[in-house]
């Protein structure tokens, strides 16, 4: 399964270079991922499980600095024209998913964060059904969530947030071959709601 993302870390501190380099240390050496970095973002290509795990680790390492940290990411699965196009076709019709998202099963990181994300199922005229289905699933998942314009907000443990993003990415892929998720994850913001 071909999956990739572009992600960026934004540490709101004069020490931002040091925090970023510390957070991504070892990422380029990970054998099950292809990683390329430029001045705007880091590309990671690989299977969903190691990819989401790697981003979670990067975020947690940056958060350990104690600074206000934001990670933004665009996850994409099944871009047409890529060589793996044939394996990216949907395998189940919309509505075939029975399993709920269950972040209570996740081992907690102990780091609290806030996030907002959006799911874009592409090439499908039924895309709003998929979006509404995922919003309902997250409401049932036992993690704090709230609708915002153009996205859904999550508040919880970092590991729960990454679990929900990974699950939404998997679930949307049953409906269409090309799925994009954009996400913003923030910790230690001085702004408290």
Please tell me the count of residues contacting a second copy according to CB under 8 A.
50
Half-sphere exposure (Cβ direction) of 170: Cα atoms closer than 13 Å: 17
Instruction: Please say whether the beta carbons of 55 and 149 come within 8 A.
Output: no
Question: Which CB sits closer to a second copy, 72 or 102?
Answer: 72
Rank residues 53 and 122 by Cβ distance to a second copy and give the closer one.
122
* Residues numbered 112-171 forming contacts with a second copy, rule: CB under 8 A: 114-116, 118, 120, 122-125, 127-128, 148-151, 153
We find the least distance from the C-beta atom of residue 75 to a second copy, in angstroms, to be 9
66 is a contact residue toward a second copy (CB under 8 A): no
Do 117 and 184 form a contact (C-beta atoms < 8 A)? Answer: yes
* Binding segment (CB under 8 A) for a second copy, from list 54-62, 87-95, 135-143, 178-186: 178-186
Question: Rounded to whole angstroms, how far apart are CA atoms 81 and 83?
Answer: 6
Residue with Cβ nearer a second copy (107 or 149): 149
| Per-residue H/E/C for the chain | CCEEEEEEEEECCCCHHHHHHHHHCCHHHCCCCEEEECCCCEEEECCHHHHHHHHHHHHHHHHCCCCCEEEEEEEEECCCCCCCHHHHCCCCCCCCCCCCCCHHHCCCCCCEEEEEEEEEEECCCCHHHHHHHHHHHHHCCCCEEEEECCEEEEEEEHHHHHHHHHHHHHHHCCCCCEEEEEEEEEECCCCCC
| Residue 41 within binding range of a second copy, rule CB under 8 A | yes
CB of 60 to a second copy, least distance (A): 19
Of positions 38, 83, 98, 107, contacts a second copy by CB under 8 A: 38
Interface mask toward a second copy for 75-114; x: CB under 8 A: -x--xxx--------------------------------x
List contacts with a second copy (CB under 8 A): 4-6, 8, 10-14, 16-17, 38-41, 43, 45, 68, 70, 72, 74, 76, 79-81, 114-116, 118, 120, 122-125, 127-128, 148-151, 153, 180, 182, 184, 186, 189-193
């Amino acid at each position: 399964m071909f999956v990739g993302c572009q992600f960026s870390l934004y540490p709101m501190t004069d020490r931002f270079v040091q925090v970023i380099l510390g957070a991504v240390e070892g990422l380029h050496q990970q054998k099950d991922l292809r990683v390329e970095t430029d001045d705007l973002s880091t590309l990671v290509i690989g299977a969903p499980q190691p990819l989401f795990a790697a981003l979670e680790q990067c975020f947690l390492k940056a958060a350990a600095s104690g600074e206000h940290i934001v990670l933004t990411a665009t996850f994409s699965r099944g871009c047409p024209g890529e060589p793996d196009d044939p394996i990216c076709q949907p395998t189940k019709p919309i509505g075939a998913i029975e399993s709920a998202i269950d972040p209570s099963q996740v081992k907690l990181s102990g780091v609290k964060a806030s996030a907002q994300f959006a799911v874009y199922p592409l090439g499908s005229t039924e895309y709003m059904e998929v979006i509404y289905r995922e919003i309902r699933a997250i409401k049932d998942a036992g993690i704090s969530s709230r609708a915002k314009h153009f996205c859904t907000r999550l508040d919880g443990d970092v590991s729960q947030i990454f679990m929900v993003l990974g699950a939404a990415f998997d679930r949307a892929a049953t409906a269409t071959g090309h799925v994009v998720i954009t996400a913003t994850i923030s910790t230690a913001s001085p702004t408290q709601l």
